Each structure stands twice: as C-alpha cells, then as structure tokens.
Amino acid sequence: MSRHLLNILDLSVTEIDELIATADDILACPEKYREVCKYKTLATLFFEPSTRTRLSFESAMLSLGGNVLGFSDSASSSAKKGESVADTVAIVSGYADIIAMRHPKEGAPLVASEHSRVPVINAGDGGHHHPTQTLTDLLTIRHEKGRFDGLTVGLCGDLKFGRTVHSLIEALSRYEGIRFVLISPEELKLPSFVKQTYIKEKGLPYSQSTSLEEVIGELDILYMTRVQRERFFNEEEYLRLKDSYILTPEKMRLAKEDMIVMHPLPRVNEIAVEVDDDPRACYFRQAYYGKFIRMALIMKLLGLSAEKGETV
Ligand code: CP
C-alpha cells in the first residue's frame, strides 16, 4: 500500500529528522544521488499557480535521475471539461510512480490519495495544509538556528488563509519550549481550530498582537506571509488589508541581531526589497533548501536510498 503525505503530522519527529539528515547528505554529496530514481516518474498535477513548489519538485526528481510529467494549469487538463480529481488521479497513477498535487479545494489531496495506486504528496490544498513547505521551513530553521527547541516564533500577516502557517504551527508544536507570537489584523487571525488544537490544548505559551513593531524585538524567527488574495471573497477587503504589514530596514533595527526572517514566498509587498541584503533575511536560502528536502521525501515515499537502492 502506498504511503502518502497529506499533512505534516503524517510524518513523525524521527522521520522528519531522517529527512533533514538525507537532505543534508544530498547537499554535501549530490553525485551519490544522481541515479537513485532512474526509470521512476513524478507527475506534478497543479490546479493552482506555483513557481517554487512545482519547479523544485521537478528539479528534485530530475536531479535524482528520474523523469517528470504533468500540468501547471488546470485549464490545460481535462479538469476544464469537468473531470473529477478522483478520475484524474486514478488515470495519472497509471502513468507515474509518485504524484505531487496542488489544488484550491481543501481536502482534494485526500480524495486523490483514495484513488491513487502510487504515493500522493499534498503540494498545497486551499487554506488548509502545505506539508512540503513545512519540511522546507524546518530544514531552513535547522540550518539557520541549529535547533527547533526553545524558539520564539512570530508569524505575521495572513494567519487565516496562510496554509504554510497552519502546517508550520502543527509541526513546531511538537518541540520543547516553543512560544508563538501571532501578528495579524483582527480579520486575518489564526483559525480557532488551529489555535485550540495545536497551541492551547498543548499548553504552549503564545501571545497575539496587531503590531509588528511592538513584538519584533522578542523574536528568534519572524515568519512573514503574503495576504492571500485568491482566498478572499471580496476584493475591497483584500485591498484594505493587503499592506497591513511591511517589513522595512527600520523595523529590522528593532529586532535581535540573530533573528532570522523567513517567508514561503511569493512576496508581494510585505517585505521591502531593501531587507534582502540583511544577512538575517533567509527567504531565498529557504526556497533553495526546498529542492533538497523534496529529493529526500521522494526517495522516502518511493522506498529508495542511495546506499541500498530499493528499501521496500
Ligand atoms: N511557497 C510556495 O508554495 O511557493 P509557490 O506558490 O511558488 O509554489
């Protein structure tokens, strides 16, 4: 039976540590991995736009010696003619060994997994989850901060619709000494089920603020997010909220010298380009790491390793 990745909690903390170790080994010795996925094919089924996730998945599979196929726009697939996700995946799982899928509807990757003969990876479903972004974030934190425990993590911007925030909170809630600082306008607060299940019920310390300036000095990590225009019902509301937070060099002067700035990207206006030259800005390094953790994940779900070939 295939193993899927729909939610970051589908992976144990130990498995995440193993993926990070594999990604580090790939970064150090990429030549060892050049043929691990020879004759294997990844399908990328993207019903929503993407740059980083789709291309890093494709780059990951190509660097493992495998092949890629798929679509980057649902309008060029038979979804445009009304084909269901279930039927699409039932067909594509006969053409590929593993599927990465992004869809605007929450739960679509779960439906896909129920109709697939091969592993399905959730590459983002609506405002729900984005587990491979979280793996990317965790690899970045390990590289930049050296640990997961004892960090004060500020999440800023669209905490309501930002699926990367939801998955990251779920993941970090499993480590010791984590404190969350939730920074958003009232209208874009973290959904209550995420706050209740992963912060309150676990007894994790947290605070909420509408002001980035007031709390930035407390943070070890500032995780900025884009206001998710595509999830708003009302364009006027989006226009009113879109520039709620703009990180500038002036605000960075209020932060700790070793605070890091993360962002899943794409950025619109929420981080001024002048911040890019600050060594604490690590969002471009973060996007780079995404390829290597996805290489590790593809190998894991296919049961392959550089040392042993097929492991299952
Ligand atoms: N971080 C992220 O998911 O980026 P893309 O939308 O470009 O894939």
- Alpha carbons within 13 angstroms on the beta-carbon side of residue 241 total 25
In angstroms, how far is the first alpha carbon of the chain from the final one? 11
| Pocket, ligand 1, Cβ cutoff 6 A | 50-53, 124, 133, 264-266
Kindly state the tokens that stand for 133. Answer: 């972004």
pLDDT digits (tens, 9 = 90+) for 26-71: 999 999 999 999 999 999 999 999 999 999 999 999 999 999 999 9
Q: Which amino acid, 209?
A: S
Residues 6+ apart with CB under 8 A from 98: 40, 41, 42, 43, 118, 119, 121, 298, 301, 302
User: Looking at residues 164-188, what average pLDDT do you find?
Assistant: 96
The answer to whether residues 212 and 251 touch, using CB atoms and an 8 Å cutoff, is yes
Of ligand 1's listed atoms, the one at least distance from the Cα of 53 is: 8
Of ligand 1's listed atoms, the one at least distance from the Cα of 49 is: 6
Helix (H) or strand (E) holding 248: none
Quick one: pLDDT at residue 231? 76
Kindly state the tokens that stand for 302. Answer: 């296919």
The residues annotated with a catalytic role in the active site are 52-53, 81, 102, 130
Mean per-residue pLDDT of the chain:
95
Quick one: pLDDT at residue 244? 85
DSSP string, 64-115: TT-EEEEES-GGGSGGGGT--HHHHHHHHTTT-SEEEEEESSTTHHHHHHHT
Quick one: pLDDT at residue 191? 93
Kindly state the tokens that stand for 179. Answer: 């404190």
Quick one: pLDDT at residue 309? 57
- H-type helices in 182-281, by residue range? 192-195, 212-215, 235-241, 249-252
pLDDT digits (tens, 9 = 90+) for 220-261: 999 999 987 877 778 888 888 788 899 999 999 999 999 999
Of ligand 1's listed atoms, the one at least distance from the Cα of 130 is: 3
pLDDT digits (tens, 9 = 90+) for 111-161: 999 999 999 999 999 989 999 999 999 999 999 999 999 999 999 999 998
User: How far apart are alpha carbons 145 and 151 in whole angstroms?
Assistant: 9
User: Looking at residues 187-210, what average pLDDT do you find?
Assistant: 96
Residues 6+ apart with CB under 8 A from 3: 119, 301
Helices 283-302 & 131-145 angle (0-180, nearest 10): 120
Residue 56 CA to ligand 1 center (angstroms) comes to 10
Residue 295 CA to ligand 1 center (angstroms) comes to 17
Task: For residue 310, name the pLDDT band (cuts at 50, 70, 90).
Answer: low
User: How far apart are alpha carbons 159 and 165 in whole angstroms?
Assistant: 6
Residues 6+ apart with CB under 8 A from 91: none
Residue 307 CA to ligand 1 center (angstroms) comes to 31
Q: Whose CA is nearest to atom 4 of ligand 1?
A: 52
Put residue 111 in one of left, alpha, beta given phi > 0 → left and psi -120 to 50 → alpha. Answer: alpha
- Tokens 């960090």, residue located: 151
pLDDT digits (tens, 9 = 90+) for 99-115: 999 999 999 999 999 99
| Candidate from 46, 51, 73 with most ligand 1 atoms within 8 A of CB, to mutate | 51
CA 166 to chain centre: 10
Cα distances from 299 to residues 36, 181, 288, in angstroms, run 8, 35, 18
